[in-house]
Amino acid sequence: MEYNVTHRPLTLSVIVIAYDMAREIPRTLQSLSRTYQQQAENLDYEIIVVDNGSPIPLDENSWRHINAPVTLIRIENAHPSPAMAINTAAEVARGEWLCLMVDGAHVLTPGVFQFALAAGRAFAEAVVAVRYFFLGPDEQNHSIANGYCQAEEDSLLDSIQWPADGYRLFEIGTPFRAGATSANWLHKMFESNCLFIRRSRFETLGGMDKDFDLPGGGFVNLDFYKRASDSEGATPVQLIGEGSFHQIHGGTTTNVTMEQRQNRTKTYQKQYDKLRSNASVTSNTPVMYMGHLPSERSRIHRYFKG
């Protein structure tokens, strides 16, 4: 009897949403590969890349050299919000755990899979968040105003010989602060672009809310993180010493001026208030922490660039 491996359940499904990211996606996939992620050589996982209507379709040949189990889904005439793209991928995902990357332009540090799955073993209904960083000398809204660009980012990655040692990303990145004057690993997060959740809990929550229909999704990612963290039996976990680093690519709020970011955030807040009856965007559920400090530069409380 022939066994169809297509339907074999897996431990992990990583869902990566991409729009016009031909430059960035190969690096993202490199950071998700078996040869980059620690203890991933024998991990039964899959990566589902959703090309959410890019003007020029993603070319699978651009990542053929990467040791990663990738399936590409192309959505024509896609909705500008990533909510439906996430839900579409989740319907075909085979993993017990889902890793949701709404913005596919992120590269990860090498211990993300290892520590996120360890958190899942420690807490049966963990909702695991990886902290958001920017590549470059500052939050990208500020750095692009001072000339930071893709060519400079390429040079920075070359300077640390990435991907040879993924923890050197801390040397060329800065944590997302959202207006705070300092940054440390214990600051409570209100969203994550690399979020791990059991598939069963994702389905119980109904996936991401498609009513968040603004370009880029508005607060759809914040909303899902809060709903997941506050759902019955969930244990929110924040990883220490691991990060998700944003590449510059023209994001709707990350790669625009501060004025544009503020105006768009106000629009997102209005939609959230309408859909959630003026509820807070942050969760009050206590958070657990798991991780390590893999390098001197990962001690972000000491190396904050303000």
Contact 123, 237 (CB under 8 A): yes
Question: Region 21-32: what's the mean pLDDT?
Answer: 98
Superfamily of domain 8-293: Spore Coat Polysaccharide Biosynthesis Protein SpsA; Chain A (3.90.550.10)
Residue 2 has pLDDT above 60, yes or no: no
Q: What does the pLDDT look like over 54-101, one tens digit per residue?
A: 999 999 999 999 999 999 999 999 999 999 999 999 999 999 999 999
Question: Region 130-152: what's the mean pLDDT?
Answer: 93
Top pLDDT among 262 and 215 is at 215
Where are the domains positioned within the chain? 8-293
